Amino acid sequence: MLVLADETKRLVHEAAEWRLIGLLFECPSPLWLNEVGLLAQEVDDPVLRQSALEAMTEASEGLYHSTFGPGGPAPPREASYQDTVQLGYLISELEAYYNAFAYRPACAEPADHVATESGFIAYLRLKQAYAETEGQTESATVAADAAARFVKEHLATIAEPLAASLAESGVAYLKDASAALLRRTGPRLKLPVLQDPLVDDDAVECGM
């Protein structure tokens, strides 16, 4: 019987949490409900457990599309929250991440969808756990570093505004899922406003 070290157990536990977060942002189906229920038994986070419990009775395909579809109150894609990055560049960057680690998303959502990106962190946690059990320290470090960068540069961009929108949506399971996501990503990276040091603000007038 394989006995996992404490660090490996932690990584597997985190992978289950990230997978459940990603799953909660996917479109519901009968198989989806079964997987949500099974994963909920593997996590200790009370907010995630509550979200999964709420999803059992609340989630539906219609509710999902009215929340996340065109005109819905909570866009689920990173592109909706990027101020400076073009969509083509964003997708290329995400696919480069996914290809580097041979990640093949289980869901059919776009590369910048919150479900796809959350699933990637779950995948990296499992990659890191496997490397740890095999004594592949360098590979474990690569996976850990990639996950940290990805969360900071991509998922944090979505998590904060998405949680704010879903907090007022009236959809309890998505509100709790987004709160759990935000707690793991922290606030989005605030880019500094660049100012040309050669420009004297006092010398510039409107209309010039």
Tell me: pLDDT of 200 over 90: no
Mean pLDDT, rounded, for 82-92: 88
Residue 205 within a domain? no
Residue 203 within a domain? no
The widest CA-to-CA distance across the chain, in whole angstroms, is 76
Residue 85 within a domain? yes
pLDDT tens-digit map of 94-125: 999 999 999 999 888 999 999 999 999 999 99
DSSP 37-80: HHHHTT---HHHHHHHHHHHHH--HHHHHHHHSTT-SS--BGGG
Residue 28 within a domain? yes
Contacts of residue 88, Cβ cutoff 8 Å, sequence gap at least 6: none
Contacts of residue 55, Cβ cutoff 8 Å, sequence gap at least 6: 24, 28, 33, 36, 173
Q: Residue 140 is part of which domain span?
A: 6-186
Strand partners, 113: 77
Residue 191 within a domain? no
Residue 206 within a domain? no
Q: Report the CATH number at residue 56.
A: 1.10.3480.10
Phi and psi at residue 201, in whole multiples of 5°? -55, -35
Mean pLDDT, rounded, for 9-18: 95
Q: Tally Cβ neighbours within 10 Å of residue 36.
A: 21
Residue 45 within a domain? yes
Residue 199 within a domain? no
Q: What is the mean pLDDT of the chain?
A: 89
In total, how many domains does the chain have?
1
